[in-house]
């Protein structure tokens, strides 16, 4: 057996021409997006002094991701990803083009700004899971982790450059030029995608339809208790941390007396802090587990929110926002990393889409809610409330431990092919699978406990119903059964079972006392 190839270093993926070109184009595209966001966030303060209107921009940007992340994750699995990404980039370029025209003609209103920001959020929702999904196609498996890290680095490079550049260009040349440069950045991304000659996907005969893939992703999410913990911890953190992001334009303008350029500089400081955080996180991980990292992120974020209440001088606010970037990147990478580690390959895109849904849903709801609170009690009191809530909830939910993510989720392929009297159409179903065990009566409680854990595996991998029954004439005969919606879905289930799942099955099998393995039967609905 050959040893797995080791990565040549953190920047090794850039030696792959396609990855390097798309990575550079993505950095340029993200710089343009951050410039557009700064212009929109600042322009709304010119159009309305209402904190609710300001917070609506954040809500409009994140709500589509909350609504569409899961469908986007499904689409990224069933469509040609290259063509799909090109279409999304065209949509985003059209949004910025409309903002350019409206701002140039003086026709831009809060309503137009919110509506176009919402459409831009739709594009971001469709693009996010797909960008993550193409990375394994661009680099060798040995360089995959480095490629993911480089993507995170690229986002934070854009975050450190885009807002500052956007604020300076907005202050110097106006909104139309800022939006125009964003349109130009999408042109670079589209050109890079057109240059990429993606190999045509092979048809395995088990490709999923949109609705079938959607249902499979939802079933997995409902049955994965580990994913539930990640989603809960993410929702709590982002719900309270969203207050500083929703109100930051008002903090920069009203409390700190800054201009559009200063606001962009603050956001650039967040990006710079995030880059610094990416450099120190390996040392932090040596001393803190995932729960400790998330608590540290909560304390750092809350400290910055509390410090901004005192309206510090502008020179002090900049490094404070750098600390905010440090806390933010610690939280993002910790939660995303845990989510990645507990999701098998076949459902990773959809599982991450669910995570993005919770993340952006919490950001959207929190932004709107904190904006309404600030409308009533003012920005400083709202920041205090958010900071206190973040600390208290961080300490309370610190006891809800994040999963370790150490299970072997590679496909085991240990299920034998089912015996067939004649070929079965893939769309035929539902399918009932029965597994007959022989269990001693004294082993029954321990066996049922093992079966309870096994039932979650069956549901994660494709079953929509599951149960255990005993034979009326022989108490030692126990029948496990589960239902799968189609024969094709059951065949996919064969390829989804991981080594960790195989361990769960072995735990139940050790109670079987028959001379042979448990009998397995397949039944098709008539």
Asked if the model's pLDDT at residue 65 lies above 80, the reply is no
Contact of 277 with 325, CB cutoff 8 Å: yes
pLDDT at 38: 82
pLDDT digits (tens, 9 = 90+) for 449-465: 999 999 999 999 889 99
Q: 13-196+210-399 falls under which CATH superfamily? A: MFS general substrate transporter like domains (1.20.1250.20)
Cα 157 → chain centroid: 20
* 400-404 mean pLDDT: 88
pLDDT at 294: 93
* Three-class secondary structure of residue 126 per DSSP: helix
pLDDT digits (tens, 9 = 90+) for 477-502: 999 999 999 998 898 888 888 888 88
CA distance 212 to 101: 42
pLDDT digits (tens, 9 = 90+) for 268-300: 788 788 778 777 877 787 788 889 999 999 999
Contact of 149 with 7, CB cutoff 8 Å: no
Positive or negative, the Cα torsion across 498, 503, 506, 508? negative
* 515-520 mean pLDDT: 86
Q: Which of the listed ranges 73-82, 188-197, 201-210, 415-424 does the model predict with the highest average pLDDT?
A: 188-197
pLDDT at 437: 93
- Residue where the block lists tokens 């929509």: 464
Token code pair at residue 161: 């450059």
pLDDT at 75: 81
Cα 296 → chain centroid: 21
More confident residue, 80 or 231: 231
* Three-class secondary structure of residue 345 per DSSP: helix
Token code pair at residue 178: 């800022």
Architecture of domain 431-524: 2-Layer Sandwich (3.30)
Q: Which DSSP symbol is given to 16?
A: S
pLDDT at 129: 75
Pairing label, strands 477-484, 431-438: antiparallel
Cα 526 → chain centroid: 41
Burial class (CB in 10 A: 0-12, 13-18, 19+), 35: buried
Give this prediction's pTM. 0.77
Confidence grade of residue 5 (pLDDT, cut at 50, 70, 90): very low
pLDDT at 2: 36
CA distance 246 to 243: 5
CA distance 353 to 213: 13
Contacts of 380 (CB under 8 A, 6+ apart): 255, 309, 311
* 178-195 mean pLDDT: 91
Q: Count CB-CB contacts under 10 A for residue 519.
A: 12
Task: Kindly state the helix (H) or strand (E) to which residue 51 belongs, with its residue range.
Answer: helix 51-78
Q: Domain map of the chain by residue range?
A: 13-196+210-399, 431-524
Asked if the model's pLDDT at residue 92 lies above 60, the reply is yes
CA angle 83, 91, 33 (to 5 degrees): 105
Give the 3-state secondary structure percentages of the chain, helix then strand then coil, rounded to 5.
75, 5, 20
pLDDT digits (tens, 9 = 90+) for 222-265: 999 999 999 999 999 999 999 998 888 888 888 888 887 788 77
Burial class (CB in 10 A: 0-12, 13-18, 19+), 516: exposed
Token code pair at residue 326: 């440090």
pLDDT digits (tens, 9 = 90+) for 307-323: 999 989 988 999 999 99
CA distance 33 to 311: 28
What average pLDDT does the chain have?
84
Asked if the model's pLDDT at residue 339 lies above 70, the reply is yes
CA distance 405 to 85: 30
Asked if the model's pLDDT at residue 7 lies above 50, the reply is no
Burial class (CB in 10 A: 0-12, 13-18, 19+), 474: exposed
CA distance 479 to 468: 6
Confidence grade of residue 515 (pLDDT, cut at 50, 70, 90): confident
CA angle 155, 156, 159 (to 5 degrees): 90
């Amino acid at each position: 057996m050959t040893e797995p190839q080791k990565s040549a270093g953190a920047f090794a993926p850039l030696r792959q021409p396609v990855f390097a070109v798309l990575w550079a184009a993505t950095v340029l595209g993200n710089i343009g997006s951050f410039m557009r966001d700064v212009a929109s966030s600042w322009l709304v303060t010119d159009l309305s002094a209402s904190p609710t209107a300001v917070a609506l921009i954040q809500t409009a940007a994140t709500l589509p991701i909350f609504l569409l992340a899961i469908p986007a994750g499904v689409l990224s699995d069933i469509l040609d990803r290259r063509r799909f990404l090109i279409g999304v980039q065209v949509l985003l370029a059209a949004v910025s083009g409309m903002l350019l025209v409206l701002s140039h003609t003086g026709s831009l209103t809060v309503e137009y700004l919110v509506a176009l920001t919402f459409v831009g959020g739709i594009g971001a929702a469709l693009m996010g899971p797909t960008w993550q999904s193409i990375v394994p196609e661009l680099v060798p498996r040995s360089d995959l982790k480095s490629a993911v890290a480089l993507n995170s680095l690229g986002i934070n490079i854009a975050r450190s450059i885009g807002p500052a550049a956007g604020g300076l260009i907005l202050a110097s040349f106006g909104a139309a030029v800022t939006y125009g440069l964003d349109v130009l950045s999408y042109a670079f991304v589209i050109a890079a995608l057109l240059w990429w000659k993606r190999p045509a996907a092979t048809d395995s005969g088990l490709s999923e339809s949109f609705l079938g893939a959607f249902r499979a992703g939802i079933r997995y999410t409902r049955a994965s208790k580990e994913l539930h913990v990640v989603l809960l911890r993410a929702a709590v953190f982002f719900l309270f941390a969203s207050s500083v992001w929703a109100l930051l334009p008002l903090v920069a303008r009203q409390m700190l007396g800054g201009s559009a350029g200063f606001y962009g500089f603050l956001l650039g400081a967040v990006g710079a802090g995030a880059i610094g955080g990416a450099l120190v996180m390996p040392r932090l991980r040596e001393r803190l587990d995932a729960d400790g990292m998330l608590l540290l992120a909560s304390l750092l974020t809350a400290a910055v929110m509390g410090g901004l209440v005192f309206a510090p001088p502008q020179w002090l606010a900049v490094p404070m926002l750098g600390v905010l970037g440090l806390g933010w990147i610690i939280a993002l990478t910790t939660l995303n990393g845990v989510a990645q580690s507990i999701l098998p390959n076949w459902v990773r895109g959809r599982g991450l889409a669910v995570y993005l849904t919770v993340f952006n849903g919490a950001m959207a709801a929190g932004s709107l809610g904190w904006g309404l609170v600030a409308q009533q009690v003012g920005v400083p009191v709202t920041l205090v409330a958010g900071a206190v809530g973040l600390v208290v909830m961080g300490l309370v939910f610190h006891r809800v431990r994040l999963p370790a993510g150490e299970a072997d989720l590679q496909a085991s392929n240990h299920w034998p092919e089912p015996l067939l009297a004649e070929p079965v159409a893939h769309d035929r179903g539902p399918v009932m699978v029965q597994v007959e065990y022989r269990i001693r009566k004294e082993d029954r409680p321990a066996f049922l406990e093992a079966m309870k854990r096994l039932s979650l595996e069956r549901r994660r991998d494709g079953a929509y119903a599951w149960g255990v029954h005993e034979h009326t004439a022989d108490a030692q005969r126990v029948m496990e059964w589960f239902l799968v919606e189609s024969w094709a879905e059951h065949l996919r289930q064969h390829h989804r079972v991981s080594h960790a799942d195989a361990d769960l099955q072995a735990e139940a099998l050790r109670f079987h006392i028959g001379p042979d393995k448990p009998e397995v039967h397949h039944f098709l609905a008539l």
